[in-house]
Each structure stands twice: as structure tokens, then as C-alpha cells.
Structure 1
Amino acid sequence: MDDRSWMYRRLMDGRLRPEYITGVRRFINFAFSIDKNISGGKIRCPCVRCKNQKFLKEDDVCKHLLTKGFIPCYENWTVHGEPYVTEPILAGPSSIGMSHVMNDVCLENPYRNLVIDAMGVGDAFYNDNMSSPMVAGEIPNPEATKFFNLLKAAEEPLWDGCTKQSKLSACVQLLNMKSTFNLTQNAFNNFIDFTKSCMPNDENLVSNFYDAKKFMRPLGLGYEKFDVCPNYCMLYYGADAMKTNCDFCGSSRYKPRNPTSKGSNKAEKQLRYFPLTPRLQRLFMSPYHAKDMTWHHYHKSDNGVMVHPSDGEAWKEFNRVHFSFASDPRNIRLGLCTDGFCPFDMSSNTYSCWPVIVTVYNLPPWKCMTRPFMFLTMLIPGPKNPGKKLDVFLRPLIDELKNLWSVGVETYDV
């Protein structure tokens, strides 16, 4: 596979690089050379705005790519008919090895591609004839094994001889229907029971809603909920998890309800927390991203030009102070940022919602500040600005970061 680092080196001194213009033309010629890409004289546009969702004419695709650039992480043009490869394509020819190409059946399986896109793991790291991944050097740890089993489920037929659905595709579509049509858990379970009664005895369909959630858990898409004092005084977390009133203002943790009504108490306010560790581990499970996790250590800046935080004096001083940490380039450097925004129309409803985002500075500059690598870790509820009490909400994240710093987590590195 040729070097495609040009795709994310669009400008130089505010002008388009000649190699980028040539590359765009080469991409368009390739895309239009495959008949199945063309619909009404148009192809999918892979720019950062269209994201391969819109079909545009040749001139419009060219204009978008020249003015906006390619969607992140699209060096392998799979949507435009190119076979999937597991080796990185970003670096120059010296780092390009033999490509492992997926067969046509895999390319036509969108649910297998869904897992691969979410986790970044290629076909070379899985043997279709065995239940465990075949990786030279080391057996994956239990967390990695769970993911590879999910990848296998993308090709496991729903029953022996079924060609239209796999175990994974059926589970994903059922969960999507539950969300789309707002089905209750009982309705979902009854629907599963009826569906299983219409299928052969060797079916592989999940048994109920609980099993469906457990089956999809290896993708790491879940989150945790923590109750919060309505005045932002404290988080009902850790040692305070069982308390019912705020230690500072005395406010009740729960909304008032009729004593005769059934059901559990509802919290006045809740924080949604998205664990960071599993997402960092997935970066090392990917042969495509794992190599870039050491980019900050091996890259060399030209003529003293600062192109990455690792070129700065603060980074170098940190390396001198924490020499043991800096000695392994795989150790992760993170940046944290937050800002409030109103998700509604400001003229009709004032509401301040605060996302907290963590970025991975190990990655090269054309990756580390792009959407796939900006990890949303928590969503601080409104309607008021948390102000100086922002640290109350950050407690779960700080505890997780402290554990990663002082203890660490065993991670499978491909």
C-alpha cells in the first residue's frame, strides 16, 4: 500500500501542497473507476463535513476535499471499494509491511466492520477457524478476548444455515428497535421469546434484554450514573454513595414523591460518567493506532519548529522530573478541557450543559485533536453553571486518573 500521509498534510504556509492536490485527483480517479461507487454520476464525499454520507458530483467532491480535507482516519478507502488492510498506511514506505486483505464476505458484513471501526482491530488478528485470536508473541488478556469473541459473533450465523443475520447483527437491530420505539423491558423480552419460538432449536439469539446488554458490553459503550446534590455541593459517590441528604446544605438527594406510590426514588440531579480506561486500552488493541501511541517519543521536529506539545519545554521538564514514567513511550499523556454550552434555543430557554473532554497527546497532531480521539468523559447537567463547584463533578475522573498514575491497568498491546 502506498504512502498516504499526504491526506492529512493539506496546507503549507496557508497554501495547498502540490502533493495533496495530486493525491485528491488520484483518489477521485480511483473512486470513479469502480462502478458500484457511482450513483447517478455521483460518489460518496469523504470530506470532514460529508463524512461519506452524501453523494456528490466529481467537481463538488474535489472542491470539498481541497477546502475542507479528508475525514479523519480514512487512509484506507474502504467505502470506495478498496479492500480493508490492517497495516498502518500513514507512515512512509519504510514502515509499510505486507497487507492482510479481508475477503469479500467480510467486506459485505457491515456489523463486522462496525466492530472493526469501533475498536480498530484488523482481520489479521483473528482466525476464523478458532475461538481465540492468533497474535504472534502473546495471548490477549481477558478484556481483549471479550472483544475478539464479539468480532467472531459478527460472522456467526443466527442459526445453522442462516445467511441474512448473524448473532451480532440480530442483537444490534433488536436493541435499536427498543430504543427507536421506546419499548419497555417486558415488551422487549416478550418479543424475544416469540421470535425464538419461531426459529430452529440451534438458534443463537440472546435470551432477554439483560443478555443483550451483557453481550454488547465489550464495545465499551456504557456509562455510569452518580446522583448529585441539586445545589452542586457534593456527589453521592464512593463513601457517600448511601447518603440521602447533602452534608453541606441539607438538601434531599431524591425528588419528593407520594408515599403510597410504587417504584424507586428518583434523584434530583445526576452526572453521566463515561469511563476512560477502556477507551485508552482500545487504542493499544488496534494495530493501526497502537504504533501512533509512541509517535510523541520518536518524532523529530524540523529546524526547531514546534509541531506538537512534546516539542515544548513543559513536556521536556516533565520528562526530567518523572524520568521513570517518561522512560516508556507507551505511557499515556492526557489533556483535559471543558466548556459550557446551551443545547437549546437561547431565546426560549437558558440552560448550561458542561461536557468534559480528554485528549490523548501521545498521538500525532493530525490525530490527537480530531473527533475520534477526543473522549467525552462526563456530561455535567444544568441548568446552572457549576462555577467554582466544578471540582465536585470531576471526582470520578480524578480518581480514575490517580489509579492509572499510581497503579496502572494491565493492557493488551498488539
Structure 2
Amino acid sequence: MVRMLLGREEMDRNTWMYEIGRATSEFIDSLDEFITIAETDQLEKEKGNTTISCPCKKCKNARWYTDSTNIKNHLIAHGFMRGYTCWSFHGESLADLNPSVSDNDTDNEEDSYNSDNNVNFDDMFDDLDMEDKVADKYHDRVQQLFVDAEKPLYTGCMNFTKLSAVIQLFNLKSNNGSRDTSFISLLKLLNKMLPEGNELSFSTYQAKKLMCPMGLEIQRIHTCPNDCMLYRNEDKDLHQCKVCGTSRYKRGKSTDNVDSDVSENGPPEKLLWYLPIIPRLKRLFANEKDAKLLRWYAEDRKNDGKMRHVADSLQWKNIDKDFGEFGDEIRNMRFRLSSDGINPFGDLSSRHSMWPKATWKRH
């Protein structure tokens, strides 16, 4: 419906919304089409209520106006909020758009958001406003999540939205330890019971995608079956281990007739699942309560010269002394590797534990 209102093949949204001047006729003409779409959507959706959310940089769809002239003036003065190429608050869904339109980057200064390399320490933590710092490629997913949180489960439903229904069903699944198969059967049965055209998910996978649209990145790295090496960086296109000569593919004994494209040679013999740490740290510091706990050792810890915390140890202080810039930043992160129940030296007659040990005394 919304797309039908676009009477011409207009310039790319990313171009007119963010790159050309807001005083140009091209911007004004395209802005008028946006206002028409927003007004039409509200008239149909709210049965005469012409209140419209303002997507300017200051309002960010959090303020609503009855007069669309106010919205137009805001957008001319301040411009559109970053990444709002899918007009999800004004009648569109991601399915309405061509992927080449909705996936465009609107700012390139944060292209390294998901990269573990060359991370600037200040950029990693400063100005952690979730609306502004979320990666551009996730912005439309966030907007769609807001839409699902408002959309009724079925026409006329007053108690549940598309999102709240799935969340409560998942709570039920978790509290009762239900298996995925039984949960899928429950979803299918509820879909039949609810009115036709309801928004309830049909499967566990769809429900999880609805609740967690911004899943953290996981990298799957091919490894040598004998754990000699990882196929990454300059070694990513090798067909066999450069240490032991074993094929990386699950192809039996033969390694002949391999395609130059490693993705065309079948599944790898062994995989390493790597969870990049930087995006996870950003999520922790983006939450106010978690961020306060991560800074506790520097802001709230009792520092009276006694050994009360690992930060009181000589090793900790030596690191701060040797790496002054790192030590002065109270949001620095330090990691300790622990492993339990492994046999690191290949001696099957012995058991080794690398967990820090504590001595308990019975009184």
C-alpha cells in the first residue's frame, strides 16, 4: 500500500535523506512524498487520528504531532534520524523495501563496529547511547522490533502484541523445561485456535528471531583436524594443513581435484566457533547497571592498602605501571583463563585442574 504512493522512481533514499542539501528542491519534493505517506498511513491505521511521529534527529520517533507541518519543519531544520531508510513508524515493513535500499549505510564512521582489529579504546566506550551507537546494519531490525512491540497479536486483540505473546510463551517454555518439538506443536495449535491472520510465530526459530533480531556475531573458522593451525588470514585459502599436510575437508583420504574456491569443496573436517569479544564488551558497557559493576573496582572499592580485591595485588599494579594509558582508563578489561577437567600433558593416568583453588576450613 505504502509503496503504491511512490508515483515515480525516486532517487535512492539514502541519497536524498542524508547526502543532498535540505534546502534543495529534490529534498523538498521527496519530503512531501514522505509526509503524504505518513498521513495516509495514520488515517487508515488509526481511523481518522492524524497524529504522526517525527523522525528528525531530535525527536527520533519519540514525539508525535497532529500537524504534519511541524514534522516537515523539523526535518528541514534537523534532518532525518540516522538510518531511518525503512519508514517502519509510518506504515512500512522491511518486506516492503528492496534490500539495496534498506541496507545502505548512512554513516561510515562506525564501519568497524564489529571488527576486533584496530579498535580505538576511546571510541569503544564514549557516548554509549544505544539509539546512536547501534550499528547501521542493525538499525532497521531495531525499528522492526519497535513495530512488533506495538502490533496486536490479531485484529482487535487488546491484551497481547506480536512480541509480548512470544515472550510470555517462551517464559512458559523455560519455566517448565519444554522441548523445542513440544513448543513448536504448541505454536501450531495456537495458530489454529487464534483468528485467521494472527501474528503468532509458527516455529521456535521464528520466535527467537523475533525476540533477538540483533544476535551477536559468531565466526566459524576452519581448523586442521589435528589442531595444527587455523585457516584464517593469509592461510584462509589453503586446502591442506601446512604443518601436517592433512586435508581440511571432510572428503575421506583423497585430497585431489579440489576447487580453488574453498567454499566449493564440501564441509570442513573441523570447525572452531569463535565469539568476538569486542561486541560483547560493548553490550555490557551499553547497560548502565552492568557498566557500573565493571567500574566498581575503581570507583567503589575500599582502597585501604589491604588485600581485599585482585586489584590490590602487585601483578595488577605492575600492569598499571608498565601500561600507563591502559591503567588510567577505569573501563579497562582484564581476562583470566581457567579450564577444568582437561589433560594438558597427555598423561592419562593423572588428572589436572587449572581452576584457582580455595582452601576451606571447617569450624
Measured against the shorter chain, the TM-score band is 0.3 to 0.5
Higher strand share: 1
Structure with greater Cα Rg: 2
TM-score scaled to structure 1, two decimals? 0.38
